[in-house]
Structure 1
Amino acid sequence: MNYYDRAKELAEQTVAHRRYMHTNAEAGLDLPKTKAYVMEQLRSFGIEPKDCGYGVTATLGKGGKVLLLRADMDALPMGEESGEEFACPTGKTAHTCGHDFHAAMLLTAARMLKENEDELEGTVKLMFQPAEETFEGSKNMIENGILQNPPVDAALAYHVSAGKMPVGLYMYNSKDTMMFSVDGFKITLTGKGSHGAYPHAGVDPINIGAHVHLALQELIARESDPTHSCVLTVGKFQAGTVGNIIPETAVLEGTIRTNKPESRELLVRRMKEVAERVAAVYGGSAEVEMLSEVPPLICNPELTEEFVGYMEGMGIPGLTGYPGISASASEDFAVIAEQIPSTFMYLSAGYLDERGEAPAHNPKVKFNEDVCPIGSSCLAHCATEWLKNNK
């Protein structure tokens, strides 16, 4: 089967899938409408889906090696200002990262693979994942056996990218870290409340928090390897309700991101030590809770170059590779890539005019639906070719 030709024939259906999920955007782990829609569509293709934690899985083919095709499908908890006629009307959720595309393209790829199932020389496993934005989804599905029964040998995922760039560009990294780790943390500082007129009678957690914040910055300035990329951000500092009362507690929340596993280990460990010891110096205490723990996304070099070769051989007009891409954002597909050989690529869904001005996670962002047949056909073609060449 020529998957690109077939994907063009199915382009309207792919767009319809995307627009349904866009209009009915859901965020987090529990995506009842999205999940029901995906399962309904898979059944209409003759594929029997199964629950996998909060996500959906299904298999096609017969025995042999197993390739996992993954698509996240969650939105963000924000309003939408795209002006699209199919925009989510709730004002509370929006597909501003393009995950509606991922699920739609995987649905069409699944349909084509089912149509061509007799030619598959192994097994394709589908993974429709919730909660990528909160870094919970892949762990939830792993805990519920997505990499087992049957065991997965390799994995592939695409992510659409907004901005001022042409459709047809695909970006990858086969040599180094593609996306940074993310370790979200919450530091709860406990002191002793008192009247603002009698600070000596209390222990001020705001003062402790200010010193903790400053001390954390020194981890980047004085303890991180300058040849590594490291980012530590405290984006939330909450304490107190009244101006003349020293509160009992203060809370700091932030993230640590880096491109190297060894820097990640150092910074997470030292963040905890700094918080606890600075709090003790000023007479208080600190409790650290980890909100997310995602490693750097490092793609398997040989597998990535293999998929690039398959894509180059498809003859898609204007399809152009851009190697060596790296970003300080994070992606929970990294949890899968840490366990099995995996490849992650960006597909441009941008515009070269004013529609490409807003970036992802912006309420005004727009994505180009011309990417749909490219993504669907690349998923199906790469799966078919990989199974044929990896028996």
Structure 2
Amino acid sequence: MDREYEMIQKYLVKVRRNLHQIPELGTHLPKTQKYVCEELKKMGIPYWCSEKDSGIIAEIRGRYEGKTVALRADMDALPLQEQNAVSYRSRHEGCMHACGHDAHMAILLGAAKILQEERDGMHGNVRLIFQTAEEISRGSEIAISNGCLKDVAAIFGLHIGNILGKEIPTGTLIFPRACCMASFDKFIICVKGQSCHGSTPEKGVDPVNIAAHLLIALQTIQTREISGTASSVITVGKITGGTQYNVIPDQVVLEGTIRALDETVRQYIARRIKGLAVAISAMFGGSCECEIIWGAPPVVNDETMAELAAKAVSDLFEPKDIIEDFSIPNMGGEDFANYLLEVPGAFFFLSSSNEKKGTDIPHHNPTFNIDEDVMWKGTVTFVRIVHNMLQIEKK
């Protein structure tokens, strides 16, 4: 490890552990915002706090005119009770950084620290976007509405962990050239029937029966209506209804998610879910209400930007540590996709899957953790990307 990055690594671990202890949910992240702002203030980097949420937009202004490159980190956590027995475990009950966003913030602050010191030789500006509510797919839309992409030439973001597979060794950087993550949306179907005693089902309309038929029918959208080469997922993860074992309830609610790698497929699935819900409910004498809560579209990298990002660190790491031809997109979602609809950019991945350290646990798990030893690679990648896009004169 280069001495410069060895020093920044210590800073990254400290910041990540501090942030890990104060996880917050959604758009209101007062403690997290305060911590990030204090770090930016120490660095002398001007910043602006959103009035719509706890997001922060900061800017490192180069001495010379040039492009503006944006770097983004997400800030929110998950509603999970942490089970890791570590000294820096979450101090907030029922809330945990189980997706690596604490590391993302630390990595971006580390890059900011280095780039701020280089600003006198910089041709252009670096915009730092600290975004809320990625987990509920609202933060990037708010950040964009706040003008975070104004005059931006390109944007870059990263995800740490084992999101692309725990078999990818820790420290590996992955730069997909095209679609790398799926869209993600939520659907809620409220099936309505007519309550009656379980001994006389003929006197009512059974929404449990309707929901059961609908649950099976939804899977035929994928298997019989969409090409097998068009990857998609329809999952019902929650079904609620009824209060007594011997009473047919008035309604049953199904909640699930849609994932797709293609926008046309995404829209088709949403339409068909609504169509099947209405038709099957009516077929058994009931009715329904179906709501699609739109999340984010597929994450589609700009090929040129993905190639630039990979080349930026090609002289620093071994070929085995860099993957560019990753052709199997992840069916998870990321609202970074919204930025890529507006400006060219790339979303890359840093594996921290290390079985010996127990960091090969999936994301969104109460025992999720990362291999902190590789965090500096995320920082150096951000810095090198900026170096490649903005001419920097060493003083």
Where do residues 235-274 of structure 1 align in structure 2 (5 Å cutoff)?
A: 235-274=237-276
* 1:289 counterpart letter in structure 2: E
CA distance in 2, matches of 1:319, 1:335: 31
CA-to-partner distance for each residue in 1:254-312, whole Å, 9 max, x for gaps?
Answer: 11112122211211111111112221222222212223321111100011101111111
Q: Which runs of 5+ in 1 are unaligned?
A: none
Is it true that 1:105 corresponds to 2:103 in the alignment? no
Give the root-mean-square deviation of aligned CA atoms: 2.0
Are residue 47 (structure 1) and residue 45 (structure 2) matched? yes
Report the equivalent of 2:157. Answer: 157
Aligned to 1:277: 279
Post-superposition CA distance 1:58-85 (Å, at most 9, x none): 1112553221100112111111222221
Offset of residue 89 of structure 1: 3.4
Q: In 2 relative to 1, CA 152–251 (structure 1 residues): closer, same or farther, beyond 3 Å? A: same
* Equivalent residue number for residue 21 of structure 2: 23
- Equivalent in the alignment of 1:37: 35
What does residue 383 of structure 1 align with?
386
Name whichever of 283-292 and 118-127 sits farther off: 283-292
Measure, in 1, the Cα distance between the counterparts of 2:215 and 2:42: 54
Name the residue aligned to 1:310: 312
Offset of 1:136 from its aligned partner? 1.8
1:56, CA displacement in angstroms?
0.8
| Structure-1 separation of matches of 2:197 and 2:126 | 65
Partner of residue 84, structure 1: 86
Where does residue 362 of structure 2 map in the other structure?
359
Q: Is the 8 A contact 1:168 1:318 kept in 2?
A: no
Equivalent positions of 1:92-241 (< 5 A) are 92-148=94-150, 151-162=151-162, 163=166, 165-174=168-177, 176-241=178-243
* Runs of 5+ consecutive residues of structure 2 not aligned to the other structure: none
In the superposition, the TM-score normalised over structure 1's length comes to 0.92
Counterpart of 2:245 in 1: which secondary structure?
Answer: coil
User: Equivalent residue for 1:61?
Assistant: 61
1:347 to 341, 347, 350: 350
* TM-aligned CA deviation for residue 356 of structure 1: 3.5
Work out the percentage of aligned pairs sharing the same amino acid. 35
Shift of 1:103: 0.2
Query: Cα offset for 1:357?
Result: 4.0
* CA shift in 2, pair 1:388/1:319, >3 Å: farther
- AA at the equivalent of 1:133: E
Conserved? CA contact 1:225–1:263, under 8 Å: no
Inter-partner Cα distance in structure 2 for 1:69 and 1:267: 33
Asked if the contact 1:276–1:285 (Cα under 8 Å) also holds between the matched residues in 2, the reply is yes
Compute the displacement of 1:336 (Å): 1.4
Q: In structure 2, what is the equivalent of residue 320 of structure 1? A: 321
Count of residue correspondences: 383
Secondary structure of the corresponding residue to residue 358 of structure 2: helix
> Mean Cα displacement is larger for which, 106-115 or 348-357?
348-357
SS of the residue corresponding to residue 122 of structure 1 reads: strand
Shift of the alpha carbon at 1:319?
7.2
User: Which residue in 2 is equivalent to 1:333?
Assistant: 336
8 Å CA contact retained: 1:170, 1:322 = yes
Cα distance change, pair 354–387 in 1 and its aligned pair in 2 (3 A): closer
Q: Following the alignment from structure 1 to structure 2, what is the Cα–Cα distance between the partners of residues 222 and 359? A: 31
| Structure 1 residues 7-60: Cα deviation after superposition (integer angstroms, max 9, x where no partner) | 322222221110011011122221111111001111111112212332111111
The one-character-per-residue Cα deviations of 1:159-179 (angstroms, maximum 9, x if unpaired) are 1124465443101211x3211
> 2:213·2:280 contact (CA, 8 Å) conserved in 1?
yes
Identify if the C-alpha distance between structure 1 residues 331 and 135 changes in structure 2 by more than 3 Å, giving closer, same or farther: same
1:372 Cα deviation after fit: 2.2
User: Is the contact made by 1:74 and 1:130 (CA closer than 8 Å) also made in structure 2?
Assistant: yes
User: Quick check: 2:175–2:309 contact (8 Å CA) kept in 1?
Assistant: no
Return the alpha-carbon distance in structure 1 between the equivalents of residues 223 and 182 of structure 2.
19
| Structure 1 counterpart SS, 2:41 | helix
